[in-house]
Amino acid sequence: MGNSPAWRCCIPHRPLLKGEDEQRDGTDAINQVELAASELFTVPGFATAYHTSVIVNGEEFFFSDSGIFNDRALTSHQGKPSERIALGMSVYTGAQMLRALGPHFRPGTYDLIKKNCNSFSDCAVYFLLRRRL
């Protein structure tokens, strides 16, 4: 499909961004980061599929075939994710994350196996907290 790999936004040896050095010691980390997850379906004896999104200060960010979306109603989980997990605090806002990841998650680049909502959530958490899912 001509998509750039989703992991390119998650390469750990990229130049530091403004405020990144504060992230490492927690200084000025005022943005609450959560992961929302909902079970989609289970194949007994094989696997369970999940939809994930990232929440920053109560605002959900998720990836679909139409690109990255954000709202406060947890729309991608029909308002009620199966799980909502607090991950930590970040120096980055949701808007900063959206600007940084937007070029990597453009409309029409979604792939159910290679570049999906979980790929986006992993990159978003890495951008915000320097941790992988």
Residues 26-59: tens digit of each pLDDT: 568 999 999 999 999 999 999 999 999 999 999 9
Sign of CA dihedral 67, 30, 127, 47: negative
Average pLDDT, the chain: 86
Q: Which of 5-14, 76-85, 120-129 has the lowest mean pLDDT?
A: 5-14
Count CA atoms closer than 13 A to 23's CA, side-chain side: 20
Neighbouring-strand partners of residue 59: 56
Q: Report the C-alpha gap between 54 and 122 in whole angstroms.
A: 9
pLDDT, average across residues 81-103: 97
Given this model, what pLDDT does residue 89 score?
Answer: 97
How many Cβ atoms are within 10 Å of 52's Cβ, its own excluded? 25
Residues in the chain: 133
Query: To which residue do tokens 């001509």 refer?
Result: 2
**Rounded distance, CA 92 to CA 46, Å?**
37
pLDDT at 8: 46
